[in-house]
Structure 1
């Protein structure tokens, strides 16, 4: 049905375009973004080490995955790449609650879920995948891409959690009194 295909086209263009813009901020400093160096510093501060490698991976996953979604080309791969980046972003924003107005995970959650839905549901007829007979959009591609993205996201999130915990422990040790616990206090 043409209306379903038009709906998928609109969804792909909106989600894909948003992801491309976010990735361009990280990679090129577009739209007021920090570029690689600025994003690398932010990634390092958030616990993603090394910061520069993680900045490139996040930017490429967002921009590349978003471009593939917008085009409807290798849709499962694009959706999986974008979803993996958004899963990590959800964990960064999770302490702030759900809503974006308080720095929460609302936006990355919606972008990630829409990316997964497109990866699983397909791009529709008005897409490069549709024009090529779905040469890059097979059932096994979807399973493989989402599986690999899940493993990558899980590994990245776990490594960040370990880094954040180690940083907190180091900060706590640095903030501890020099004399140590149990030292009598002069009156």
Structure 2
């Protein structure tokens, strides 16, 4: 029995379970979450358009990636999709600085970096990947999963930045007092 393998099991269960809980909040309204509709509204307000599609993708990435990490099954894929979701969350929180106590990006960054580390480092001996002879945990799988998830995260973040910039321009172009009523003569 290896301490490293036990450590990886504990890490996978903790990070995976946390991601599953956050995904369940978005998808099902569990643990006080907004469910799809509530999350869709929040995603739209944050610049992720369309909100509903982004809510489903974010929730599925967190929940699905978390399940895969916790089980140690297709660990590169689970780590990559979880990291991609956390990259987008990190961008949202970045204006608030680093620390989570101020609404900063500390928490999603740690979840994302840990997910990448598990994707690259592997799940350890106490995993379904080990039981399957690592059929879904190959070096090429890791490279492909991280590249695809990175490309998806980049496209999502770029689209959000464009939407936020458009919203800011629209607000700047709007009259300060709202629409002006016609003057009666």
TM-score by length of 2: 0.94
- Residue of structure 2 equivalent to 1:122: 122
- Residue of structure 2 equivalent to 1:132: 132
In the alignment, the residues of structure 2 paired with residue 172 and residue 84 of structure 1 have an alpha-carbon distance, to the nearest angstrom, of: 32
- Residue of structure 2 equivalent to 1:168: 168
- Residue of structure 1 equivalent to 2:41: 41
TM-score by length of 1: 0.93
In the alignment, the residues of structure 1 paired with residue 80 and residue 90 of structure 2 have an alpha-carbon distance, to the nearest angstrom, of: 15
- Residue of structure 2 equivalent to 1:32: 32
In the alignment, the residues of structure 1 paired with residue 110 and residue 130 of structure 2 have an alpha-carbon distance, to the nearest angstrom, of: 25
- Residue of structure 2 equivalent to 1:69: 69
Cα displacement (A) at 1:176? 4.8
Q: Report the 3-state secondary structure (helix = DSSP H, G, I; strand = E; otherwise coil) of the residue aligned with 1:175.
A: coil
CA RMSD, Structure 1 to Structure 2 (Å):
1.1
Unaligned 5+ segments in structure 2 are 179-185
- Residue of structure 1 equivalent to 2:146: 146
Superposed CA offset, 1:27-75 (max 9, x none):
0000000000000000000000000000000000000000000000000
Matched pairs, number: 178
Query: Structure 1 segments of 4 or more deviating over 3 A?
Result: 175-178
In the alignment, the residues of structure 2 paired with residue 142 and residue 176 of structure 1 have an alpha-carbon distance, to the nearest angstrom, of: 51
- Residue of structure 1 equivalent to 2:50: 50
In the alignment, the residues of structure 2 paired with residue 138 and residue 176 of structure 1 have an alpha-carbon distance, to the nearest angstrom, of: 58
Deviates more, 1:167-176 or 1:115-124: 167-176
